Amino acid sequence: GAVVSQHPSWVICKSGTSVKIECRSLDFQATTMFWYRQFPKQSLMLMATSNEGSKATYEQGVEKDKFLINHASLTLSTLTVTSAHPEDSSFYICSAQDAPEEETQYFGPGTRLLVL
Amino acid sequence: GNSVTQMEGPVTLSEEAFLTINCTYTATGYPSLFWYVQYPGEGLQLLLKATKADDKGSNKGFEATYRKETTSFHLEKGSVQVSDSAVYFCALSGGAQKLVFGQGTRLTINP
């Protein structure tokens, strides 16, 4: 149980285009989803917290107009990198919780983005 | 604020060696503590967790004990295998269910 998927697993795009990444909880309903960014050989940096049906809460320094997050249902959250640039190239990972009081997060396999 | 500090890697061991990866934390209140593992090219997987002082989390031969007096949650395994090669992250659950991660420790096990 507690499986989280991400799609696509990797994507290459041209500078200036937008890229959408999907995060799905496959066997549970996720009240809260999180989006992280991971640079090579570094730890995870929390970008935003997403609750179903409400606006995402962004961490300090993360541009909300650059990284659009939508959590339209209890099993799906999307991250759209708008007008991507090479510095946006990174490994993006989502996670989900199955209950508000549950502290454990279940992570997706990640999406590697390369912007040329 | 909350923070997690792990021993710096990389750590390289031979198969069947004893493993310890140190983790200490700073937190207000009584956080839950976690170890996550990341295999090459993959996302994080929960390895084990402990929710209160003196709890021991264990899974796949790995163990960690929540030590409030030393604010530590060291990861141990008695006999490592090549398949344990990965990056290990210590984390604590801070406010608003947010996880605070350590910097990660890369472990390589040689046959």
Best probe of the A interface among B32, B42, B92, B97, by most A CBs < 10 A, is: B97
- What average pLDDT does chain B have? 93
Question: With a CB-CB cutoff of 8 Å, which residues 52-91 of chain A face chain B?
Answer: none
Q: Which pLDDT band, with edges at 50, 70 and 90, does B105 fall under?
A: very high
Using DSSP bridges, classify how beta strands B105-110 and B11-14 pair: parallel, antiparallel or unpaired.
Answer: parallel
On whether any CB of chain B is under 8 Å from the CB of A100, the answer is yes
Q: Are A110 and B43 a contacting pair at CB < 8 A?
A: yes
What pLDDT was estimated at residue B1? 81
Q: What is the mean pLDDT of residues B26-51?
A: 90
pLDDT digits (tens, 9 = 90+) for B69-96: 999 999 999 999 999 999 999 999 876 6
Determine the Cα–Cα distance for residues A79 and A64; give it in Å rounded to an integer: 11
On whether any CB of chain B is under 8 Å from the CB of A8, the answer is no
Determine the Cα–Cα distance for residues A91 and A109; give it in Å rounded to an integer: 10
What pLDDT was estimated at residue B96? 65
- Taking the CA of residue A1 and the nearest CA in chain B, the distance in Å comes to 13
Distances (CA, A) of B15 to A86, B39, B81, B88, B111: 40, 17, 5, 17, 5
Structure tokens at B56: 């021991």
pLDDT digits (tens, 9 = 90+) for A72-81: 888 999 999 9
What pLDDT was estimated at residue A53? 81
Q: Give B4's Cβ-side CA count (13 Å radius).
A: 27
User: Which parts of chain A register pLDDT below 50?
Assistant: none
DSSP state of B72: B
What pLDDT was estimated at residue B34? 95
Q: Are A42 and B104 a contacting pair at CB < 8 A?
A: yes
Q: Strand, helix or coil at A63?
A: coil
CB contact at 8 A, B63 and B74:
no
On whether any CB of chain B is under 8 Å from the CB of A1, the answer is no
What pLDDT was estimated at residue A54? 84
Q: Are B34 and A104 a contacting pair at CB < 8 A?
A: yes
Find chain B residues with C-beta within 8 A of A110's C-beta.
41-43
Q: Which pLDDT band, with edges at 50, 70 and 90, does B20 fall under?
A: very high
